[in-house]
Chain A
Amino acid sequence: MTTLATTPAGPRARRTGPRPRLRDGLRPWLYLLPAAAVLLPLLGYPIYMLGLLSVFDYRQAQVSGGEPTTFVGLGNYATLLGDQRFWSVLGQTVAFAAALVAATLAVGATLAVVLSRAGRVPRLLLSLAAMAAWAAPAMTGSTVWMFLFDADLGLVNQVLGIEGFNWFYDRWVAFGVVGATVVWHSFPFVMVTLYAGIQAVPASVIEAAALDGASVWQSFWKVLVPILRPLITIVVIQSIIWDFKIFTQIYVMTNGGGIAGQNSVLNVYAYQTAFGSSEYGLGSAIGMVMTLILLAVTLLYIRALHRRGESL
């Protein structure tokens, strides 16, 4: 935001943030109009429709007009809550996202510290490599990792001498490979953000800790983490949001959710319920559950931003 407010107070001192321009009246809304024209019908309305679909019995017969759509109230939600499969998918979605966030953060934070201590050339190399992983589309990242872990022709199996071993057969092993792909895609964001944060910490603070005999480990936990806590909160919440919504990697790498859907996460489950089984109402209910969970996380995010003293 504007930092003009830090200038010494005086007759010409300015207020924080945008100045009021009362004469302008409707003008800001005029500038917001194009955005509203796109977002209201294509984002706002679909969210409303998602909620609406979730309280109707809406399946293939209703879509084609063969049967009338009937209002079922919270029936779809009741079905979900009573469905053991839903709970197991929800459980593994949460567990998978938690593991991804932890792994992404561990890798990203470690490499951010490494970056801050490495020389110029290694730093440049790592930044460029991270940029490449960051930029790679989820789709192609998935295909390459699938190829690397292919049962017969994959490099990994040939190097390990276990040709024929199928990494996507066991539920947890498959989650591991997909997880590695996701972390590969997402650690650069954490690394770059935290590295920028570390750069902003005065070198004298770190040096003072080193002079006092702190090890790298200690100065990370006792000095950097407390200083960077607000930034870390934001990175964590952002990662939770991304990892909870994971779709492409699971869908592509496990071919739509794994054997008998064993690798399904909520997002894939909702999609398969709607477009695979033509249970559009039920799929929408799953989508609503996801939306509500993410909304809760978002509110935490906004609170974290507020705590940092950010004025919106």
Chain B
Amino acid sequence: MNRSRLVANAVAVAAAAVTLFPIYWMVLSAVKPAGEIQSLQTRPWTLAPTLEHFRRVLGAENFGRYFLNSAAVALSVVVLSAVVAFLAAFAVTRFRFRFRTSVLIMFLVAQMVPVEALTIPLFFLVRDLGGVVPGAGLNTLGSLVLVHLAFSLPFAIWMMRGFVAAVPEAIEEAAMIDGAGRAVILWRIIFPLVAPGLVATSVFSFITAWNDFVFARTFIISATHNQTLPAALLVFFKPDENDWGGIMAASTLMTVPVLVFFVAVQRRLVAGLGGAVKD
């Protein structure tokens, strides 16, 4: 092994340790007894792991409910966005039509919109919508599903494009010759073939919805039972004495699902990104 390889290995391991440390610290602090967190001699380990913070967070602070709310919103967004993005990606990769390039550029531009700035018009829009559609007004989870669907869709379509293009057209042609109808080709043949791409795309939609803080904070004003995790986390911040054990336990609860999801599809994700960036 030469010197350059040795240096690279050392830097890689050190960088990995530094990068992982905040996550380690979060999980560690979540299981540390309160006494150790309050201690002014912090140690990077604990000999008495406890679930007291999790119990407090899930029990008294009702975090289980918020967790389910977040999950319901994120999963609805994932399912809806997968179907809608698949259809749109199919349209822009398999057909050549007028304004096709304009449509694609619009999807690209839509990704760049500063969504936080749109909270202002969307707040009024959702407020008015509530009068017409009961499940989609302020203080409802439906409103969050709608806006996250809109914000995850442009990127999902952009990413799905590469996956749909990768399915050889010969397969469709063969199916057509065998007498398969359009719907059958679309849903029974192409859809399963792009499933890996859908999974990768779904991770991004999931993360957009799961991580959102600003809309949850803006739309869910008074209905605390409809809060989602990020906004609910702020409950633990108190002016003088932050409940760090609780905050870290809640943060852990919020991070673990995404982490598992992300690592599980890691390989496809990178391939998909390659498709989105390079393709």
Contact = CB atoms under 8 A, between A and B. Distances in A.
A197 B1 CA distance: 25
A287 interface: yes
Which secondary structure dominates chain A's binding surface?
helix
B22 A139 contact: no
Contacts of B157: 35
A153 B214 contact: no
Interface string A120-143: 001101111111111111111101
A29 B113 contact: no
Contacts of A136: 22-23, 255, 258-259
Contacts of A295: 109, 112
A267 B124 CA distance: 18
Contacts, number: 298
B91 interface: yes
Interface in A110-127: 111, 114-115, 117-119, 122-123, 125-127
Given A39-B110, A137-B230, A158 B41 contact: yes
A145 B22 contact: yes
Contacts of A21: 94-96
Task: Specify which of B12, B85, B125, B261 lies most central, judged by the most chain A CB atoms within 10 Å of its CB.
Answer: B12
Interface stretch (A42-50, A71-79, A166-174): A42-50
B277 A137 contact: no
Interface in B97-141: 97, 100-101, 103-105, 108-110, 112-125
A211 interface: no
A13 B4 CA distance: 48
Q: Which of A18, A27, A155, A244 has the most CB of B within 10 A?
A: A18
Interface in B229-279: 229-230, 233-234, 237, 242, 244, 247-248, 251-252, 254-255, 258-259, 261-263, 266, 270, 273-274, 277-279
Interface stretch (B50-58, B148-156, B191-199): B148-156
B25 A38 contact: no
Given A128-B263, A302-B108, A267 B91 contact: no
B72 to A, nearest CB: 17
Contacts of B113: 43, 47, 291, 294
B120 A270 contact: yes
B9 A118 contact: yes
B12 A245 contact: no
Interface string B30-64: 00000001101110100000000000000000000
Contacts of B273: 192-193, 196
B259 A135 contact: yes
A270 B114 CA distance: 11
B244 A150 contact: yes
Interface string A231-259: 10010000001001101100110010000
Contact of A297 (B94, B112, B248, B261): B112
Nearest to A305: B108
A3 B93 CA distance: 13
B4 A38 contact: no
A89 to B, nearest CB: 14
A50 B118 contact: yes
B91 A247 contact: no
Nearest to B81: A38
A231 B277 contact: yes
A50 B23 contact: no
B226 interface: no
B9 A119 contact: yes
Contact of A147 (B29, B92, B94, B114): B29
A267 B83 contact: no
B124 A49 contact: yes
Nearest to A14: B169
A35 B114 contact: no
A312 to B, nearest CB: 5
Contact of A117 (B8, B88, B103, B210): B8
A286 interface: yes
A39 B153 contact: yes
B84 A35 contact: yes
Complex A-B, nearest 7 residue pairs according to Cβ-Cβ distance, in ascending order: A287-B117, A42-B150, A49-B121, A135-B262, A31-B91, A122-B12, A117-B8
Given A34-B83, A135-B259, A284-B117, 8 more contacts: A35-B88, A111-B11, A125-B12, A144-B251, A147-B26, A147-B244, A192-B273, A255-B237
23 contacts: A17-B96, A31-B87, A32-B91, A34-B83, A35-B84, A39-B150, A49-B124, A50-B117, A119-B1, A119-B9, A125-B13, A125-B16, A126-B19, A132-B23, A133-B20, A139-B213, A139-B230, A140-B255, A143-B251, A231-B278, A252-B234, A287-B114, A310-B279
